[in-house]
Every structure is written in C-alpha cells, then in structure tokens.
C-alpha cells in the first residue's frame, strides 16, 4: 500500500481490500470506502466503511516498514482483561493489495483527544474525570501479569532502559547524524547512559501511552489504541511518557500537540502521586525517566522528519519541517536540563 495517498489507499487497493475483507466479514455490503484518519506517522490508520455504514479500522505501516501483526497479538491477549481494546477482525501480510503486515479491527465508540480543541469539547469536570481515569487505567495495565495473559515472551524482563537507549542510538545513526541537533543528542545519550536507574518491576509497557491514543466516549475512556511499541519493561517509562504529554496552559506548544494545555485537568504532580499511590512504585527518579522521554521523543521526531523529507508520508497530517526541527531541539535541551550533568 502506498502511504502517500491522502484519504487512504489507491482505488485498486480499495477494491482488493474489499474483496479480501468480504471473505472474512459476514454481510459486508459493497462498495467499500477507505479514508485515512489520525495523525500517526509510523503505523497509519484508515476507516473502512461499507454501503450500510458499518465501520472497521485498518492499521498498516508507512511504506510497509513494519509488521503490525504483533500488535494484533497484543490486542487479542488483552481482550480478556480489564484494559479496553478493540477486537481484531482480521490480519494479513502482503495481501489485499497492501505491502507488509496489516490488521483490521472493530471501530470502538469515541474519539481521541489529540489536541486542545478535542479536549475543549469536554466540560471541565469531564476533563478531570478523563484524566483521572487515564491514570487509573495505566495502573491497571501495569498490574497485569504478563504470563497470565500470554505475553510473557513479549520482551526481555530486565534492562528496558538500556535496550531502549541502544535502539534509539541505532535509529539516530540512521536518521540524525547529519542533523544540526546531533551534538546535543549525543550529549543526552552520554548523560542518560551514565545514570540509568534500577528497574523496580517488569510490566506490560504500552510505549506510547497518552490521551491521543485513548478513545473517549460520553466523557469516559472507551479504548486504548496504538500498541505498536508495546513490550515488557519499566512501568515508569510509561508514566513519564504520559506526564511529558501532560502539559499545562503555561507550557509551550511543540509539534506534538497536548490536549491538557486547554486546562481543567489535574496537574503533573497530582497524576504522579495518584499513580504512585495505586502501584506502590517509588517515583523518586521520575526526573530521569522524563529526561529519557524527552530524548526518545526527539529521536522519534527525527525519524518523522526524515520520512517527511523523503516524501513517504504524503500530505495527510503533514508536519512542518521547521516546527519539527524546533521541537527536536526543544526536547533535547529539556532532556539535558532534566537529567543534569
């Protein structure tokens, strides 16, 4: 599938996908429409709808770079838990006119809070309740026993931060060595590598847990999406990712929008205290995890910038390259500030 076609796959791909899905979904009524949605820059998302208005979600990688069937396995494993996820309808690889692995899942009710405008549609009490529920749900995920849900082999149980540092370094070598931010990125890598804290617990880590990856329906959370980075690892990495996305009205905006900047949500200190109380984890070194989060986010944005320059992401949800470069530098400077010398 070409990821640079706005509005979804090419017409020929849409026809092939409709034929493929019709063999797997009862009473599918053609014609089928496929429309790209969301602002994802790695695994892309489209809505599939048939003539009777039934809808499903298609997940596929940009340029066929990855196999999202791993995500399908995670969704199936979590389906029987108290973590709300969409059901997997079908999955395939190099089929239906799509290059690489892909999955089709049910469309859950609600919409994500991707930016301030989305959050602004909720009343202040609803914002507060959604925020509290997001923290509760993260603690619920981290309380699951990976073995008991069939995900005990999803990743190594220790050394999460060390592995993530190495993986990000490999990505930067491919994406960022010619970047103007290379020197500050390397300084961040050196400081983070010298100060890795001890991992307290091994849990199922979402890897990209934030409000833009959670659906909200009628003021309540209905589903957690985008499990492509899920693995076994350090729970405080997930908490730090959520906390760093949890910006207040006084915080500057960057390329990655933050719905909490509209106001009405609990502040960072409150959600950290809530999470610590629910899990019993020591959050003394959360500053390090936030530094790691800044640095990792900058690395991922560098990959987005490279793909944007190469034209592999099209114009849907296009991000301005100058804004990307500014955000990368802002995040890296923030990482150095948080981790210290």
pLDDT of 10-51, one tens digit each? 555 678 888 999 999 888 898 888 888 866 556 788 899 999
pLDDT of 181-200, one tens digit each? 999 999 999 999 999 999 99
Give the residue numbers spanning the domain of 196.
Answer: 111-339
Please state, in angstroms and rounded to a whole number, the distance separating the CA atoms of residues 136 and 14. 39
Asked if 84 and 180 sit in the same domain, the reply is no
pLDDT of 247-291, one tens digit each? 999 988 887 889 999 999 999 999 999 999 999 999 999 999 999
Average pLDDT over residues 101-129: 94
Please state, in angstroms and rounded to a whole number, the distance separating the CA atoms of residues 82 and 84. 6
pLDDT value of position 94? 85
Write the CB contacts of 246 (distance below 8 Å, at least 6 apart in sequence).
Answer: 131, 258, 260, 265, 268, 271
Q: Is residue 117 part of a domain?
A: yes
pLDDT confidence tier of residue 66, bands split at 50, 70 and 90:
low
Structural domain tally of the chain?
2
Q: Is residue 4 part of a domain?
A: no
CATH number at residue 176: 3.90.1200.10
Please state, in angstroms and rounded to a whole number, the distance separating the CA atoms of residues 257 and 277. 28
Asked if 212 and 90 sit in the same domain, the reply is no
Dihedral sign for Cα 96, 100, 101, 106, please. Answer: negative
Among the residue ranges 8-12, 82-86, 155-159, the one predicted with the least confidence is: 8-12
pLDDT value of position 16? 87
Q: What is the pTM of this model?
A: 0.88
């Amino acid at each position: 599938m070409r990821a640079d076609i706005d509005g979804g796959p090419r017409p020929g791909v849409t026809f092939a996908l409709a034929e493929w899905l019709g063999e797997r979904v009862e009473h599918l009524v053609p014609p089928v429409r496929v429309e790209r949605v969301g602002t994802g820059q790695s695994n892309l998302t489209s809505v599939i709808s048939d003539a009777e208005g039934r809808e499903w979600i298609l997940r596929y990688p940009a340029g066929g770079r990855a196999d999202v069937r791993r995500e399908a396995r995670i969704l199936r494993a979590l389906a029987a838990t108290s973590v709300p996820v969409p059901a997997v309808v079908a999955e395939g690889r190099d089929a239906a006119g799509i290059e690489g692995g892909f999955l089709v899942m049910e469309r859950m009710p609600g919409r994500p809070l991707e930016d301030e405008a989305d959050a602004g549609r909720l009343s202040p009490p609803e914002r507060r309740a959604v925020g509290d529920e997001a923290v509760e749900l993260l603690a619920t995920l981290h309380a699951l026993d990976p073995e008991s849900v069939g995900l005990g082999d999803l990743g190594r149980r220790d050394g999460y931060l060390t592995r993530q540092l190495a993986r990000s370094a490999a990505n930067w070598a491919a994406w960022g060595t010619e970047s103007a931010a290379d020197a500050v990125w390397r300084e961040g890598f050196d400081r983070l590598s010298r100060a890795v804290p001890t991992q307290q617990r091994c849990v199922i880590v979402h890897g990209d847990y934030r409000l833009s990856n959670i659906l909200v329906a009628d003021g309540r959370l209905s589903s957690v999406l985008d499990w492509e980075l899920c693995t076994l690892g350090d729970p405080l990495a997930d908490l730090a990712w959520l906390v760093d996305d949890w910006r207040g009205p006084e915080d500057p905006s960057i390329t990655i929008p933050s719905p909490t900047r509209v106001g009405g949500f609990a502040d960072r200190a409150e959600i950290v205290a809530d999470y610590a109380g629910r899990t019993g984890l020591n959050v003394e070194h959360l500053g390090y995890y936030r530094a790691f989060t800044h640095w990792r986010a900058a690395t991922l944005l560098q990959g987005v910038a490279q793909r944007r320059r190469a034209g592999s992401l099209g114009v849907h949800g296009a991000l301005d390259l100058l804004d990307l470069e500014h955000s990368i530098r802002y995040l890296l400077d923030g990482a150095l500030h948080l981790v210290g010398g």
